[in-house]
Amino acid sequence: MNPNIQIREGFATIDFARVQAWLAATYWQPGVVRAVVEHQARNSALVIGAFTPDGLQIGYARVVSDKSRFGYLCDVVVDEAHRGKGIGRAMVQFALKHPEHSTVTTWILKTRDAHGVYSALEFLPITNPVNHPEAWMALRPAENSQKAR
C-alpha cells in the first residue's frame, strides 16, 4: 500500500455520498440508499475510511462488535481506481489491531470474491462457523415469512 494513504476512524471522517455509491453497486447491498448506509455506520462499533494525501476518500469498512469477544467485519470496499493496492487489507488490519477490539476472540466476515485479501490476514474459510452448532439458533424474519406463504 502507498505509505501516503491514511487510514482514519470515525463517523465524521466519512464521505457518505461516495460510500453509498460504492455500496449500492455491490452484490451484498445493491441499491442501498444513503440514509441506510449512515444508519448502519452510526450503529457500528468502528467506522474506517482510507484517504489519499489530498483528503479524497478511497475506501471504507466497518465493524459490528461488542468490543469484547465478537467482531463482524463488513462493508469493506475500495474505490475501483485504487483496488489491488492493499488498501482493503490495510483497513482490515487497522480494525483487527484497534485498541478497543484487543480482546475480541472471534472475528467473522462473509465474502464471495475477496478470499485472497482476507486469507493473507489469516482468515480461514469455515465449514462450520460456530462451535457446538446444535446450540445456536437464528431468526431471519424475511425467510420465515416467505416459508409461511
1 belongs to a structural domain: no
Q: What is the CATH number of the domain that holds 108?
A: 3.40.630.30
* Structural domain count of the chain: 1
Query: Which residues lie below 8 Å from residue 86, measured CB to CB, with a gap of 6+?
Result: 1
Comparing C-alpha atoms, which of 140, 69, 143 is closest to residue 107? 69
Q: What is the pLDDT along the chain (149 residues), one digit of tens a residue?
A: 678 899 999 999 999 999 999 999 999 999 999 999 999 999 999 999 999 999 999 999 999 999 999 999 999 999 999 999 999 999 999 999 999 999 998 888 888 888 888 888 888 877 666 677 677 676 677 665 666 55
104 belongs to a structural domain: yes
Q: What is the CA radius of gyration of the chain?
A: 16
48 belongs to a structural domain: yes
Phi, psi of 76 (to 5 degrees): -75, 115
Range of the domain at 27: 6-148
Q: Please give the order of strands across the beta sheet that includes 46-51.
A: 6-9, 46-51, 57-65, 70-78, 106-108
Q: What is the pLDDT of residue 66?
A: 96
Q: What is the pLDDT of residue 129?
A: 60
CA-CA distance, 140 to 132, in Å (whole number)? 20
113 belongs to a structural domain: yes
Q: What is the pLDDT of residue 136?
A: 67
Q: What is the DSSP letter of 109?
A: -
Work out the angle between the directed axes of helices 34-42 and 16-24 (0-180°, nearest 10): 110
Q: What is the pLDDT of residue 147?
A: 62
pTM of the model: 0.86
